[in-house]
Chains A and B, each alone.
Chain A
Amino acid sequence: AQKVTQAQTEISVVEKEDVTLDCVYETRDTTYYLFWYKQPPSGELVFLIRRNSFDEQNEISGRYSWNFQKSTSSFNFTITASQVVDSAVYFCALSEASGGYQKVTFGTGTKLQVIP
């Protein structure tokens, strides 16, 4: 069975600090997809990134970067020079694409508070 673990329940950082959100996953499939979503207080989940299991290249998008390591089954998310607007709950998710059917499992989320 697939599983996503976000061990950090809540993190507080001071503005401009870097912060890394951890995500560890379990799956038996060789083909799978990993996602990060941001949920601000308004409630809507905002898509941040999608990564397939065959692409281990790290990705950088502005202040956001992602480190995917299959060897440790981790897909960590780093925010550089954090800002107050980054305060939100962040979810890591795993999608197994078996048989064309989508089975998506979300982690429990990490609440990030950026203090001005």
Chain B
Amino acid sequence: KAGVTQTPRYLIKTRGQQVTLSCSPISGHRSVSWYQQTPGQGLQFLFEYFSETQRNKGNFPGRFSGRQFSNSRSEMNVSTLELGDSALYLCASSLTSGRDTQYFGPGTRLTVL
């Protein structure tokens, strides 16, 4: 089975721009979670989607949003980028949720200049 894929792998944007990141989960997995990883804050949970519905959300401003499509693929969007948004964004997929192991993609490295 193919693993979790994330595109693009690297991205450079300037302040004020917006960005969309994409994640394709493992085939058959219906839950997709997003995390932000920075050296200062570690791994922080952004949100989780299941069956096209957001089920859980971390403590991030409304500039961070996401969605999930009927094929379980997910996108996250960050609007009005700030320098502090520079991070590795990781996507994880799991079968359903709760009890299942999350499998992570390689991440998207976002740099905001």
Of B60-68, B75-83, B101-109, the stretch lying at the interface with chain A is B101-109
Query: Contact between A47 and B101 (Cβ–Cβ < 8 Å)?
Result: yes
CA distance A65 to B92 in the complex (A): 24
- Min CB–CB distance A95 → chain B (angstroms): 7
Q: A106-B43, A109-B42 are in contact. Are A47 and B103 (CB under 8 A)?
A: yes
Q: A37-B104, A43-B107 are in contact. Are A102 and B43 (CB under 8 A)?
A: no
Q: A33-B99, A43-B88, A52-B99 are in contact. Are A102 and B94 (CB under 8 A)?
A: yes
Interface size on B, residues (CB 8 A): 26
Query: Contact between B97 and A100 (Cβ–Cβ < 8 Å)?
Result: yes
CA distance A47 to B31 in the complex (A): 16
> Footprint of B on A, CB under 8 Å?
33, 35, 37, 42-47, 50, 52, 91, 95, 97-98, 100-109
- Between A and B, 12 residue pairs with Cβ closer than 8 Å are A42-B106, A43-B88, A43-B106, A43-B107, A44-B104, A45-B90, A91-B43, A102-B56, A102-B98, A102-B100, A106-B35, A106-B43
